Structure 1
């Protein structure tokens, strides 16, 4: 029987990260709503269960709960934070409101030997985020660690295969978090690390083929890695039942429309439609300055363009039932669109998550909506996509419209396209040098994403012994693995100097280059 770990979602902002960390250990995992019944869990035949954290208090009137029968199935269970507390109160323990909360790094002291903490030190740093805490453990449980503030930092009942921690092992800041997860999966649950990207390709291909049947699909193709991976999956699963539709809104990076058309008319055995919508988008965005309004306009027109293509395709009497998209998990989180219950805060709208206009009738196929960017890249390699597609720079659907602060104009687009091309050329070369030196595609100091931003201001400069009043360009370069968090890249001064010198010398209308040294959070990777 295939191994499977179910992650119960109690509304945690990073709940999907738990499933991701399990998959990092080559064990298949999936998210389920926290209100799933014990009978439904039994039918899914999981090998293990993990209870996520969550923002609520277990004593709040509308606090999510768990079917007590889930904890009586004999399936190993591991709870984190809220999952730790809900396990305690469900089984007869108590949770109390602490006078002092714990937010951020904390030091735990282990109380006794525990299989969950095998191969970890007696004292270690973990990541906490709570004010409520377990004050009395259920009958049969023992306390396995504590902090100065939290008397029950972890507890367990090995006889019933129940374990829990107040801290978050899934967060990188927990020093031995991945070891703790490994101990649970392999030592306690007896699982094997046998889930791979090749397995994923086969299962996802079969799922798409089974769902689509004989129906037709159009794919929202941007040319980025996410939609390219979906294109490769679709080509493998259903071939020419899928039409790749590339909407050229005129807001792509320099040379990209030509590259997209060349790759997707030669790389894949699918139909390809190139929609030239540049003039329509330019008219719609003329004078628009508010970021969310830009995204709304671009998203709404995005669907209108697809609807027009679908109508054209349907003239042969075969309707298009499905729209495939490259939506990934960070898109869903940032848009506040939880698929497994609860609701995260909206950080920014993603053009491919805005509701359909009236009259649009597509069912969505979003095979990547539970995956992070680096997982999507791994999947792309497993599908045989070339590296220049797989490691292509992440690019927002609204394109350069949200990297131009203020209104979009032909002059600003030309400046930003040229400046951005220099940034990408220089940092592509920088990453390649690191790769050649280390043999690692994503080494410690390599840049994960990099681009130029054009702010809506001008600055004074001196060029050719004359005063200038021209535009600055802002360089953004970050290190990340999953786009949920990111740190600004510590680029060598000579690289920064070369980028700045080239932009000022080669891009008319620019007299200054600034470097954004803000991490995510508190900033986002994009400026708008």
Structure 2
């Protein structure tokens, strides 16, 4: 990478959104927990401090020594970051009646300060803080205020350290993108040259240097991530890439044959492995989501290891890990707050003597699609909805059986096909059917039924870090429900999930 911005995460729900906004400006950035700061290299152009659910007044509040960073790099401190810098320099941060949540307006601001260049008085910003900076040291210059908060932004004189009490990364901060651009381009001097084409060029060169003439195996899934990873690797090392597609018995209906067919014309070395019985037997009786994930991960590695051994002298395992997988698997405060384990994160067992290469582990999902488009990958692959690594096992709540898999595959196929027929599939970021561990009374003809419930899930998102439920038209939902109940034996009720992320996750398990 030619240049990058470092984001230090203090646990804010908005940290990933800051990264997204930085990258939208064609500037590469990386997120690190505040308590695991890397050794900065010459590529770093500046540092952003995130917000936090903590108060700087708490004994266990996140703390970091910023002395060396402040002496070398421009800093933009957001919300908690702004309070923290004020606090450690002798300013006052208090809980008071001047706390603000939601929209506010900058009633005064200093246009001569480079952070607010081109931003007008009255600009709407988004506040989300319980504490307020009530005083700052003499070396701090207040550069913006709202009606209720005097210190909405400040600049430490004769330095490149700036701080704001509001969140520029959310769309409700109307000039948030402009402010970030002022900091990143005007103050940090970033050149905005991080594009899909530049990523492709640098990644292919990096892969060639890293892999040389070594052989690489990659587990293809038919999804966006593994497809883009495969093409990047293929362009870098050609026939030394060996792709393996494992049928774990938990794929979408008819997906195994369809995926093998769609890759035929892409020039990849690919073969399919039927391991349905092996996976389903290991899942028998398991109900806990983490146990199911771990069982699937273990069996996948065993099956994949067997297949990889058939490739002589293989050295590397390639994975389609993307940035959200890594972010969600790392806790700011340590391992205790991990949301869920990801099948691509955490390393390989000792018996699998392969080194790991992850061409996409710095990209968000929408960035993977942009790279795929620049690589010339067809839209029917790039537009596919994300599908969980453990497959339908985590869309069947409770224990997994072949009968439940069959029912869910049928229901899911009806759901997805109707979304496509109605022109809604490409407007939805991710959709899928969930098999619930409940039965309900129904009536079909003149007979009482006591059968299973299917829940439909459809969300809108950009990168999967946050998501809102889709407002699908009622007539379409009615059609989907009617066809599932009439055509899938064992289902007599269909419901729709209207939960957003957060607080819910996209998948139920």
Normalising by structure 1, we get a TM-score of 0.87
Alignment of 1:454-473 (within 5 A): 454-473=435-454
* Equivalent of residue 330 in structure 1, options 309, 324, 329: 324
Distance (Å, rounded) in 2 between the aligned partners of 1:337 and 1:352: 16
Alignment partner of 2:344: what SS?
A: helix
Q: Compared with structure 1, are the counterparts of its residues 30 and 302 closer, same or farther at alpha carbon in structure 2 (3 Å cutoff)?
A: same
Residue 227 of structure 1 aligns to a residue whose secondary structure is helix
Aligned alpha-carbon RMSD (Å): 2.9
In 2, distance between residues paired with 1:217 and 1:203?
A: 19
Shift of 1:344: 7.5
Task: Give the counterpart of 1:83 among 81, 84, 107.
Answer: 81
Contact kept, 8 Å, 2:451 with 2:492, in 1: the verdict is yes
Structure 2 unaligned blocks of 5 or more: none
Match of 2:367 in 1: 375
Q: Tell me, what secondary structure is at the counterpart of 1:251? A: coil
Q: Does 1:407 align with 2:399?
A: yes
Paired position in structure 1 for 2:23: 23
* Separation in 1, partners of 2:369, 2:157: 38
8 Å contact 1:35–1:67 — kept in the other structure?
Answer: no
| Cα distance between partner residues in 1 of 2:214 and 2:100 | 51
Instruction: Give yes or no for the alignment of 1:351 onto 2:343.
Output: yes
User: Cα deviations across residues 310-363 of structure 1 (Å, max 9, x unaligned)?
Assistant: 3332xx4x2x3322111222222333367xx95582222222225533422332
What 5-or-longer segments of structure 1 have no aligned partner? 434-440
Residue aligning to 2:143: 144
1:506 maps to 487
Report the secondary structure of 1:122's partner residue.
Answer: coil
**Is this contact kept in 1: 2:107–2:147, CA < 8 A?**
no
The whole-number CA distance in structure 2 between the counterparts of 1:337 and 1:211 is 29
In structure 2, do the counterparts of structure 1 residues 223 and 67 end up closer, same or farther at CA, with 3 Å as the change threshold? same
Query: Aligned pair count?
Result: 506
Q: Choose 7-16 or 405-414, whichever is displaced more.
A: 7-16
Question: In structure 1, which of residues 430, 451, 454 is the aligned counterpart of residue 422 of structure 2?
Answer: 430
* Residue number in structure 1 paired with 2:429: 448
Distance 2:355 2:130 in 1: 42
Is the 8 Å Cα contact of residues 422 and 499 (structure 1) preserved in structure 2? yes
Task: Output the CA distance in 2 between the equivalents of 1:483 and 1:34.
Answer: 23
Match of 1:109 among 87, 106, 109: 106
Q: TM-score, normalised by structure 2?
A: 0.90
2:195 — aligned with what?
196
SS across alignment from 2:337: coil
Could you tell me how far apart the structure 2 residues matched to 1:188 and 1:347 are?
Answer: 36
2:250 paired residue number: 251
Give the Å deviation of 1:83.
Answer: 2.9
Instruction: Assess, with a 3 A threshold, how the Cα gap between structure 1 residues 130 and 360 changes in structure 2: closer, same or farther.
Output: farther
Equivalent pair of 1:304/1:357 in contact (CA under 8 Å): no
Q: SS at the partner of 2:65?
A: coil
Q: Match of 1:144, SS?
A: strand
String of CA shifts for 1:432-466, please: whole Å, max 9, x gaps. 69xxxxxxx6xxxx211111111122222222233
State whether residues 325 and 366 of structure 1, in contact with CA within 8 Å, keep that contact through their aligned partners in structure 2. yes
Superposed, 1:5-154 pairs within 5 Å as 5-10=5-10, 12=12, 14-31=14-31, 41=40, 43-54=41-52, 60=59, 63-73=62-72, 75-89=73-87, 92-99=89-96, 102=99, 104-114=101-111, 115-147=114-146, 150-154=149-153
Alignment match, 1:4: 4
Are the counterparts in 2 of residues 335 and 347 from structure 1 also a CA contact under 8 Å?
A: yes
2:478 maps to 497
Q: Identify the residue that residue 260 of structure 2 maps to in structure 1.
A: 261
Given that 1:10 and 1:33 are in contact with CA atoms closer than 8 Å, whether structure 2 keeps it comes out as yes
**More off after superposition, 410-419 vs 182-191:** 182-191
Q: CA deviation at 1:176?
A: 3.0
SS at match of 2:436: coil
| Corresponding residue SS for 1:522 | coil
Q: Secondary structure at the match of 1:460?
A: strand
Q: Deviations over 1:458-514 (max 9, x none)?
A: 222222233222222111111111111111111111111111121122212222211
Aligned residue number for residue 220 of structure 1:
219
Residues 387-396 or 399-408, more deviating = 399-408
321-330 or 358-367, which moves further after superposition?
358-367
The aligned counterpart of 2:388 is 396
1:235 deviation in Å?
0.8
Counterpart in 1 of 2:184? Answer: 185
Q: Are the aligned partners of 1:329 and 1:371 in contact in 2 as well (CA < 8 Å)?
A: yes
Match of 1:483 in 2: 464
Distance 1:348 1:155 in 2: 38
Give me the whole-angstrom Cα distance separating, in 1, the residues matched to 2:215 and 2:472: 47
| C-alpha distance in 2 between matches for 1:213 and 1:358 | 24
